[in-house]
Amino acid sequence: MYQLFFSLFFKRMDPEAAHHLAFRWIRLLARIPVLRTYAAAVLAPRHQELRTEAFGLRMHGPFGLAAGFDKNASGIDGLAMLGFDHVEIGTVTAMAQPGNPKQRLFRLIADRALINRMGFNNDGSAEVARRLGERREVFRTVVGVNIGKTKIVPEAEAAADYVTSTERLARHADYLVVNVSSPNTPGLRNLQATEVLRPLLTAVREAADRTETRRRVPLLVKIAPDLADEDIDAVADLAVELGLDGIIATNTTIAREGLASPAELTAETGGLSGAPLKDRSLQVLRRLYARVGDRITLVGVGGVETAEDAWQRILAGATLVQGYSAFVYQGPFWSRAVHKGLAARLKSSPYATLAEAVGAGVRADAAGATTEETAA
């Protein structure tokens, strides 16, 4: 039904306008008690075997909505109603900003992908903090807060910019994400270099600790899929050194190889997300797990469309899995389908719990390599 609706209606709309319309409907439905209860019962059935713990937080399952859909914390309960086990809001910057000029979001339907150059359009961390502080929780869900650099702030002052957002938002975040990997803010990806990233993450950690004294706010960093392998290793080592709680792998890519969509679309600048990102994102995740093991929680995102995709992320080392682009193409029943498929996949596996499955594929490969080396 959704596929027909998408073809007849959303496909003909500007992608950003379609997003705002769909999100408005989700928020409206969540405000009507009878309808939201019914919608949650249909769209968000809970599977006890999928219960997950990450960062000391208990979740209904491992599958959440990645940052970018709800930039301003305006529809968390509506998204929880659809079945997402955690919702990551943002990216939020210290100052409100309109983002890049429109048109800035493009559908690559033939590739089941999106290109965006939104540019961190958001209401600013002060307004988002106010909204989070006034939120009356309808559905219990874990809320991550993703923060980035304000566009007009020079790279040299980036740490102070992130600290401002941290001081405003840390008390409202179940976990906090430092985004240094979007391709749509000039110079942002330069912050992934460890000599720059170390003082930035240290400053954010200190700001979170002095702002929220009742608990330790989990801190994660989100990295790009376009990093060289040695840079991925360097970020992994830095995360262990600083005692970070997690790494999110990965953000969108600037690569354009192997796309089937028309050249006028693939030539658009911005970050590519969706199915074409699947293989590289999984490679990065596996490399991270091989480097850090169970010392840091990993979140797998990028090209996740099906329960099998989510399962492969778990075997590659992800405790949590996120998606976004497939939501556009598959609609409100997407989360339900992923949960149902994950529960079936776990039942048919040799693992009693999801926690046992995390990293099993990487460990098996390592054991196989060791056995082959010994035999040789």
What six digits make up the tokens of 214? 């009742």
Asked whether residue 120 is marked as a ligand-binding residue, the answer is: yes
Active site (annotated) includes residue 182: yes
Asked whether residue 251 is marked as a ligand-binding residue, the answer is: yes
Cis geometry, peptide bond prior to residue 91 (ω within 30 degrees of 0)? yes
Length reported for the chain? 376
Asked whether residue 93 is marked as a ligand-binding residue, the answer is: no
Q: Is 118 helix (H, G, I), strand (E, B) or coil?
A: coil
Asked whether residue 250 is marked as a ligand-binding residue, the answer is: yes
Asked whether residue 222 is marked as a ligand-binding residue, the answer is: yes
Asked whether residue 325 is marked as a ligand-binding residue, the answer is: yes
Degrees to nearest 5, angle at CA 134 with 88 and 246: 25
Asked whether residue 303 is marked as a ligand-binding residue, the answer is: yes
Asked whether residue 1 is marked as a ligand-binding residue, the answer is: no
* Distance (Å) of CA 35 to CA 19, 60, 105, 190: 21, 21, 31, 46
Between helices 229-242 and 278-292, what is the axis angle to 10°?
Answer: 50
With beta carbons less than 8 A apart as the criterion, state whether 84 and 50 touch. Answer: no
Asked whether residue 179 is marked as a ligand-binding residue, the answer is: yes
Number of Cβ within 10 Å of residue 24's Cβ equals 13
Asked whether residue 121 is marked as a ligand-binding residue, the answer is: no
Asked whether residue 67 is marked as a ligand-binding residue, the answer is: yes
With beta carbons less than 8 A apart as the criterion, state whether 90 and 149 touch. Answer: no
- C-alpha 349/C-alpha 364 separation (Å) is 14
Residue 290 burial (10 A CB sphere; 0-12, 13-18, 19+): middle
Pick the catalytic residue: 125, 165, 181, 182? 182
Asked whether residue 375 is marked as a ligand-binding residue, the answer is: no
Asked whether residue 38 is marked as a ligand-binding residue, the answer is: no
- C-alpha 217/C-alpha 107 separation (Å) is 36
| 209-246 burial: b if 16+ Cβ within 10 Å, else e | eeebeeeebbbbbbbbbbbeeeebbbbbebbeeeebbb
Asked whether residue 78 is marked as a ligand-binding residue, the answer is: no
Asked whether residue 189 is marked as a ligand-binding residue, the answer is: no
Asked whether residue 355 is marked as a ligand-binding residue, the answer is: no
- C-alpha 17/C-alpha 10 separation (Å) is 9
User: HSE of 63 in the Cβ direction (CA atoms, 13 Å)?
Assistant: 32
* Distance (Å) of CA 19 to CA 78, 81, 122, 319: 14, 17, 15, 28
Asked whether residue 68 is marked as a ligand-binding residue, the answer is: yes
- C-alpha 35/C-alpha 242 separation (Å) is 46
Asked whether residue 205 is marked as a ligand-binding residue, the answer is: no
What is the per-residue DSSP string for 230-263? Answer: HHHHHHHHHHHHHT-SEEEE---B---TT--S-H
Asked whether residue 91 is marked as a ligand-binding residue, the answer is: yes
Asked whether residue 11 is marked as a ligand-binding residue, the answer is: no
Known binding site for substrate: residues?
71, 116-120, 179, 184, 251-252
Known binding site for FMN: residues?
67-71, 91, 146, 179, 222, 250, 274, 303, 324-325
Q: Which residues are annotated as catalytic?
A: 182
Known binding site: residues?
67-71, 91, 116-120, 146, 179, 184, 222, 250-252, 274, 303, 324-325
